[in-house]
Amino acid sequence: MTMMTPPPLEQQEDEEILVPHQELTEGPQPMEVLSAETANALESQQVEDPPTFKYRWTIENFSRLNAKKLYSDIFYVGGYKWRVLIFPKGNNVDHLSMYLDVADSATLPYGWSRYAQFALAIVNQVHGKYTIRKDTQHQFNGRESDWGFTSFMSLSELYDPSRGYLVNDTCVIDAEVTVRKVIDYWSYDSKKETGYVGLKNQGATCYMNSLLQTLYHIPYFRKAVYHMPTTENDMPSGSIPLALQSLFYKLQYSDNSVATKELTKSFGWDTYDSFMQHDVQELNRVLCEKLEDKMKGTVVEGTIQHLFEGHHMNYIECINVDYKSTRKESFYDLQLDVKGCRDVYSSFDKYVEVERLEGDNKYQAENHGLQDAKKGVLFIDFPPVLQLQLKRFEYDFMRDTMVKINDRYEFPLQLDLDRDNGKYLSPDADRRVRNLYTLHSVLVHSGGVHGGHYYAFIRPTLSDQWFKFDDERVTKEDAKKALEEQYGGEEELPQTNPGFNNSPFKFTKYSNAYMLVYIRESDKEKIMCDVDEKDIAEHLRIRLKKEQEEKEHKKKEKAEAHLYTIIKVARNEDLIEQIGKDMFFDLVDHDKVRAFRIQKQLPFNHFKEDVFKEFGIPVQFQRFWLWAKRQNHTYRPNRPLTPQEEAQSVGQLREVSNKTHNAELKLLLEVDIGPDLHFLPPPPKTKEDILLFFKVYDPEKENLRFVGRLFVKALGKPTEILSKLNELAEFPPNEEIDLYEEIKFEPNVMCEHIDMRMSFKSSQLEDGDIICYQKSLTSANRNQFRYPDVPSFLEYVRNRQVVHFRSLEKPKEDDFSLELSKLFTYDDVVERVARQLGVDDSSKIRLTSHNCYSQQPKPQPIKYRGVDHLLDMLVHYNQVTSDILYYEILDIPLPELQGLKTLKVAFHHATKEEVAIHTIRLPKNSTVADVINDLKTKVELSHPDAEVRLLEVFYHKIYKIFPPGEKIENINDQYWTLRAEEIPEEEKSLGLHDRMIHVYHFTRDSNQNQMQVQNFGEPFFLVIKEGETLADIKIRIQTKLQVPDDEFSKWKFAFISLGRPEYLQDSDIVSNRFQRRDIYGAWEQYLGLEHSDTAPKKAYTTNQNRHTFEKPVKIYN
């Protein structure tokens, strides 16, 4: 399952989005997202290996491509035609967009469908390990004939010639496509086929599912969880032990896949947490720590330690004196190196490798001073259940980023940690314990560092039969699938299509083992114990059996739904209860009234007997009205049932009343009660009689309530019922009142004044209409109330919105809430926020909208008066509405700020090492010269007349010296660093044959391609003179950089052109190398200083996103 979040324009850098390609219109677009359930549903169960093809597409003159989109040649896989589709400048995003396309979709027959798993990659032609690859799976059809990644990789990285993705302006794209036959997901029964059930994926919880299945299939662990004390009053969503017990019980006894929502709720996670992919190792530690804490003081205290805890000894032993220091430490899992190790044993060898402390690194021994010593780790004991975390992800210091290690790494079915006479064991280890382990489970990660899918291979009984637990799906697998195919590394596939790259390809396998669980042979019987119902608390069995019975009951109801009709009966009591509390418009919420489930063939007159039993209203006093949905989207009583209709069956009546053919029949029960509180027969209803409903509004209390219904004559006038209305509202008999008709509330409120002098018919009133009334107000006392009349109150109710405001500096914490109207203007909103914050000038308030998908502030703030109303600030892509806004308090008014260009400039002092970041604000029509003049007022110069220049630096190279007259409006400091520095005197008076060259620091990765150059540090210019040797230049460079002699003697110097170093000798004439002027970009030809990068990473950053969040795994409860 690849991590996916819509929409494409507001993602963090490491998010990836899988979408049909759709040419995106300008502006953010909500994208269709591949759900985990769909992805897993489509994975097929194969007997034979499915057809796979690997295709390479080489695109020359890539940076000069003008086409918006480009297709590859067609290639065949599984008898189908495929091609790759790219958007070289992005599909309206600042990333390369890339998709797999069904080449002949336009000519395929209606209803065609095919399923493929595929990977797309941009090859790094200099450094293979930096190739960017993303894989997914999709069911292709007429509506979605292409699928892939709108944001595959950033354009800035792709087009940077030093990164290795474009070499000689050539881009290489690999596609690996596997076509699978699709078995209908719904027809596959995991329980029937394997005896086990899977776990449902909540969005990106495959990593959690694979871990939970592994823990569940350690019976001793499961038994301990069952024995954790819980009570019948606990709720699973608030209790981790009960939620885990419930989950394990369902895995053990359910016939279908099990949901994990109760468990994640017990963790305190919200929906967003469930869509954040986390690290299995981290979750394993956090969950075990939490369970260990919850088990304290219970009968199962110490279980986690007993199962998973081992101990090792860290030691330092002096060679020449009798001194040894040891420290015992515990572990629950072991982190094993993958890089540089061929298998588990070589990782253990490396783990216990002895380090020599000598020379400058001698050990300070107590009472013995500095001594040569040996330092290492040995194991005191191993746990019954050994969890090995394979270090597949490592930090690459060269690129300052995480990378995935896909190297081949073998692991045995049986692991002997007593090998070679117990070389891993400390002298204190108990040699009577046989540390022979058998493999229980293999957790697999498929994908790259930015996301992927997790699943597990498990031997639940340690037999020869393996099972693959892949979210909801459980399948039988052979040992080769679980072991050898998860070693990782490369595989070689010969070309199956003549004419396309006939040489065989080597492709990295991106699916590989990430965590191994071994069980000690001597503890096998104890760990793999029987777990049955007697281990499960009685209250838990009762609760879960009741849940199962309810589930079965609902399933039965669903199966028999076609035999029944749901009749929802609304009464006067419901209207009184709901209006003014739960609702203000229309009359009733039908989901909150009494519902009856009645067999369709039952005569309606018999149903009236059920109503009598329920409400105590005799049949002869009941009259039922049908409801109707009007064209203006209101829902009102329409007409009473006729005697003939009441003689029909319930099913016939529903069909007459309901054009949408759903299973519900909605009715209003009319009952009349006399002064003596006895029931009265329903009054005769003629065409002249109109049934009206009445609500009363109190402007002082801002309250609306239902007071009753009346029949009126069509030709009668409101004046004739005034006394009755006053009586219903408990007003004085002669109170003057104003009447309004509530007409509609979607999309806008319509509530019109009723003329008392006109008849009801002339006012176009009919059965089911609503009249709202209130005491008449004089023009003087209207000003006393916020909402003096019914229309203004209903307008307020329709548009009121509680908005939660957060400081942009603390975007996860609500600061305060305000009740506002969605119709408030921009000025209204900022004025209310300013008042709340005690800010005198509301124009200094800047607001930012909320991204409902990422749960973060949007990257761009709202411009001054850039939206008309509050509603525009809250709507997210015309789909969902948020109730969160972020605020900032500016130091200058926003209109003034928007008229300025803000740049962050790093000023490098001429003689001091310090770098100061300055924020420069100037009018947008200003020039670079204006920036420099403003900067001069803020910095300390070496002398008053010093000249300053502005440079563009990107990835430790100088790409541009800004001309003083260049306008600043189009300068981008989001990705590039703007550096200001004094111009050295030597550069001001260049001789005829003098050259100013670029000088950059670089290093190389000794483990990788020796030609690969990685730049770091601060680049600079240097003037070289004709005939000047490297030895002469070295003296000036050492003086400039103030590098000590012993360190500088280790530096190497090279002429580098297009990333390839040519090392120089002291006697070489440097100017001879810098003769060509026709190369592409001066930064591609420079003097390189090779030495180790000892500077701390990210000493300063001038270009950073406005908002970045890295979420660790947290269990809150």
Tell me the pLDDT tens digit for each residue of 22-62.
544 333 332 233 333 333 333 333 334 578 889 999 999 89
Q: Which amino acid is at 352?
A: V
Q: What pLDDT sits at residue 56?
A: 93
pLDDT digits (tens, 9 = 90+) for 64-91: 888 889 999 999 988 889 999 999 988 8
- How does pLDDT run across 131-159, given as a tens digit for each residue? 888 888 788 888 788 888 888 888 888 98
Q: Is 1035 exposed, middle or buried (0-12, 13-18, 19+ CB in 10 A)?
A: exposed
| Burial class, 368, CB count within 10 angstroms (exposed 0-12 / middle 13-18 / buried 19+) | middle
**Per-position DSSP letters for 1097-1113, written without gaps between them:** TTS--S---S-------
Residue 467 above 80 pLDDT? yes
Distance CA 681, CA 671 (A): 8
For residue 1043 the two structure tokens come to 């590098």
Closest residue by Cα to residue 466 from 488, 446, 444? 444
152 to 87, 91, 278, 499, 543: CA distances (angstroms): 10, 10, 21, 28, 48
- The share of the chain scoring above pLDDT 90, in percent, equals 35
The pLDDT value given to residue 378: 94
pLDDT band at 1107 (very low <50, low <70, confident <90, very high): very low
**Distance (Å, whole) CA 131 – CA 165:** 8
The pLDDT-based confidence of 748 (bands split at 50, 70, 90) is confident
Predicted local confidence at residue 449, as pLDDT: 67
Which pLDDT belongs to residue 235? 72
Query: What 3-state DSSP class applies to 220?
Result: helix
CA distance 675 to 822: 46
pLDDT at 351: 93
Q: State the pTM of this model.
A: 0.50
- The H helix count followed by the E strand count for the chain is 28, 58
CA distances for 246 relative to 200, 240, 286, 545, 850, angstroms: 15, 10, 20, 11, 36
Supply the pLDDT for residue 40. 38
Q: Is the pLDDT of residue 389 over 50?
A: yes
Q: Quick one: pLDDT at residue 47?
A: 37
Contact 551, 256 (CB under 8 A): no
Query: What is d(CA 693, CA 707) in angstroms, rounded to the nearest whole number?
Result: 8
Beta strands in 898-1032 (DSSP E): 900-908, 915-923, 948-954, 957-961, 977-982, 995-1003, 1014-1024
Confidence of residue 348 (pLDDT cuts 50, 70, 90): very high
Which is higher by pLDDT, 212 or 1100?
Answer: 212
DSSP E strand stretches across 471-583: 473-477, 490-493, 505-508, 511-520, 564-570
pLDDT tier, 177 (very low <50, low <70, confident <90, very high otherwise): very high
- pLDDT value of residue 973: 67
Contacts of 979 (CB under 8 A, 6+ apart): 905, 906, 907, 908, 950, 951, 952, 953, 958
| Phi, psi at 660, each rounded to 5° | -85, -5
Give the confidence band of 280 by pLDDT, cuts at 50, 70, 90: low
Please list the residues that pair with 134 across neighbouring strands: 120
Residue 500 banded pLDDT, cuts 50, 70, 90: very low
* Torsion-angle region of 92 (φ positive above 0: left; ψ -120 to 50: alpha; else: beta): left
What would the pLDDT profile of 644-661 be if each residue is shown by its tens digit?
Answer: 988 888 888 877 666 555
Contact 475/194 with Cβ under 8 angstroms?
yes
Rounded CA separation 902/894 (Å): 13
What pLDDT, on the 0 to 100 scale, is given for residue 1081? 47
User: For position 1117, what pLDDT does the model report?
Assistant: 44
Q: Please state, in angstroms and rounded to a whole number, the distance separating the CA atoms of residues 479 and 806.
A: 54
**Per-residue model confidence (pLDDT) at position 399:** 61
The pLDDT of residue 28 is 31
Is there a cis peptide before residue 7, judged by omega within 30 degrees of 0?
yes
Question: What letter would DSSP give residue 996?
Answer: E
Q: Residue written as tokens 């749901």?
A: 566
Using a 10 angstrom Cβ sphere, with 0-12 exposed, 13-18 middle and 19 or more buried, the burial of residue 136 is: buried
Q: Using the predicted structure, report yes or no on whether residue 1056 has a pLDDT greater than 70.
A: yes
Three-state secondary-structure class, residue 238: helix
Tell me the pLDDT tens digit for each residue of 762-811: 999 999 999 999 999 988 888 889 899 999 999 988 888 899 999 998 88
Residues identified as active-site: 206, 453
pLDDT of res. 482: 87
Return the pLDDT at 747. 83
Instruction: Spell 304-314 as b/e; 16+ CB within 10 A means b.
Output: bebbbbbbbbe
Comparing C-alpha atoms, which of 38, 65, 30, 293 is closest to residue 185? 38
Among 599, 597, 596, 590, CA closest to 652: 599
pLDDT range class, residue 237, cuts 50, 70, 90: low
Residue 172 has pLDDT above 60, yes or no: yes
Question: For the ranges 18-32, 135-149, 224-238, 280-294, which has the lowest average pLDDT?
Answer: 18-32
CA distance linking residue 41 with residue 78, whole number of Å: 20
Give residue 368's pLDDT. 85
Query: In 598-607, which positions are buried (b, 16+ CB within 10 angstroms) versus exposed (e)?
Result: bebebebeeb
Rounded average pLDDT over 457-465: 93
How does residue 120 score in pLDDT terms, banded at 50, 70 and 90? very high
Dump pLDDT digits (tens) for 951-990. 888 888 888 888 888 888 878 766 677 888 888 888 888 8
pLDDT, residue 663, reads 64
| Residue 620: per-residue pLDDT | 93
pLDDT at 739: 95
pLDDT of 575 reads 93
Contacts of 1021 (CB under 8 A, 6+ apart): 958, 984, 987, 996, 997, 998, 999
- DSSP reduced 3-state for 16: coil
Is pLDDT above 50 for 821? yes
The pLDDT of residue 1104 is 34
Residue-level pLDDT at 156: 86
Residues sharing a CB contact under 8 Å with residue 101, sequence separation 6 or more, in sequence order:
21, 71, 82, 83, 84, 85, 145, 146
- Alpha carbon distance 2, 589 (integer Å): 41
Q: Name the residue with tokens 């030609």.
A: 1011
Three-class secondary structure of residue 817 per DSSP:
strand
* Inter-residue contact 444 to 457 (CB < 8 Å): yes
| DSSP conformational letter for 869 | B
The residue-averaged pLDDT of 1091-1095 equals 74
Q: Is the pLDDT of residue 205 over 80?
A: no
Strand blocks (E) in 30-112: 52-59, 70-71, 75-77, 80-87, 95-102
Backbone angles phi, psi at 789, to 5 degrees: -130, 170
Q: Looking at residues 547-565, what average pLDDT do you find?
A: 80
pLDDT at position 74 is 93
The DSSP secondary-structure symbol of 538 reads H
Round to whole Å and give the CA distance between 207 and 213. 10
Mean pLDDT of the chain: 82
Whether 225 has a pLDDT exceeding 90, the answer reads no
Burial of 177 (0-12, 13-18, 19+ CB in 10 A): buried
Residue 127, by phi and psi: left (phi above 0), alpha (psi -120 to 50) or beta? beta
**Virtual CA dihedral for 997, 998, 1001, 1003, nearest 10 degrees?**
-90
- 31: exposed, middle or buried (C-beta count within 10 Å: 0-12, 13-18, 19+)? buried
Mean pLDDT, range 381-407, rounded to an integer: 82
Sheet holding 900-908, edge to edge: 915-923, 900-908, 977-982, 948-954, 957-961
Angle, in degrees to the nearest 10, between helices 240-253 and 280-295: 110
User: What's the farthest any 2 CA atoms get from each other in the chain?
Assistant: 121
pLDDT at 1109: 31
pLDDT at 236 over 60: yes
Of 111-115, 619-623, 754-758, the least confident: 111-115
What are the tens digits of pLDDT across the range 291-332?
888 888 888 888 888 999 999 999 999 999 998 888 899 998
Structure tokens at 835: 């008042």
